Structure formats: structure tokens, C-alpha cells
Structure 1
């Protein structure tokens, strides 16, 4: 809501799964960010050990359910896959 587009969310759950809304968040290891090893770069920047979160040798955050992100906003941004096809 702080970015001004919270009211644009679709009412149909299928549209939510089809990413027909702004504000989707994507994790490392998926489509647009396939290299899970990039998590080490984020950990270097964020220093999660300050709050008791550690990065394993397999690039997983512990404790379980921990999440990392670098979030950027641009009104024309969209998700894409490695093949370059926009969805």
C-alpha cells in the first residue's frame, strides 16, 4: 500500500497465481534468479548473523523459514524467465 498500488490486486485467485498483479516477490533459485549461490552475496551485504540467521554450505538460511531479499521498485518492472519470455 505504501507504493500506491495495493488496490490493484485481482479478485480472482487464478489471476494471483498467474502473477497478474504488481508486487510479486521472487526467491533466489527460481526463474529470474536461478543461481542460488547469489545468496552468499546478499548475506555479505545484509550480515544476517547479526540477528541469528546463518547461511549453510548449501546456500540455505537457518533457522528454517528465514527469508532474504533485495527489493527494488519500478512501475514497468515485470517477471521474466531465463529464456527471456515475459510473463
Structure 2
């Protein structure tokens, strides 16, 4: 949120306002959404991260997610 000033430790502890759904988890089970995300962001060219045929990200330490900072956002 605009008024948050969090440390790295706070972010890792998920003390931010909002939610962070990621492909493959219950709130966003469809991995094919990564295709759209990567295309919109031109992610492969800009980051060097590639998607495999099963949509795993390479290198394996790569992560992606959607961030919603609205106070009323919540998981279903």
C-alpha cells in the first residue's frame, strides 16, 4: 500500500496489506496464466527467465505472482 514502509524481513513475513496469489496455489491453480503474464511483461527478454512446456520457470529459483495491495482484497 502507498503508506507502507516495510523492511525486507516484514515483506518476507507477509506483513504487507493485501494478497499475493501465485500460479499453482489454490487461489490461482491455472499455470497457463503465466503465458499471458510473461507475454504482457516481455518477461523472458527482460529477465532471462524462461517457461518450460509444463510452465515451470527456469532458473528454478525464479518466482512470479500477482500483488493486490487493496485493503479489501482477500483469498476466497
Assess same fold via TM > 0.5.
Answer: yes
Contact 1:56-1:62 at 8 Å conserved across structures: yes
Tell me if the contact between 1:5 and 1:22 (Cα under 8 Å) persists in the aligned partners: no
2:62 maps to which of 54, 63, 66: 66
Q: Deviation per CA, 1:6-31: give whole Å up to 9, x if none.
A: 5xx8xxxxxx7xx8x74442311111
RMSD across aligned positions (CA): 2.8
Cα deviation 1:11-69 (Å, max 9, x = unaligned): xxxxx7xx8x7444231111111111111111111122222111111011101111123
5+ unaligned residues in a row in structure 1: which ranges? 10-15, 81-87
Q: Residue 37 of structure 1 aligns with which residue? A: 32
- 8 Å CA contact 2:27–2:75 kept in 1: the answer is yes
Determine helix, strand or coil for the equivalent of 1:66: coil
How many residue pairs align between the two structures? 70
Structure (1 or 2) with the larger CA radius of gyration: 1
Residues in 2 aligned to 1:36 and 1:27: alpha-carbon distance in whole angstroms: 9
Matched, 1:78 2:43: no
- Cα distance in structure 1, aligned partners of 2:64 and 2:35: 11
| Structure 1: distance between partners of 2:23 and 2:62 | 13
1:46 alignment partner in structure 2: 41
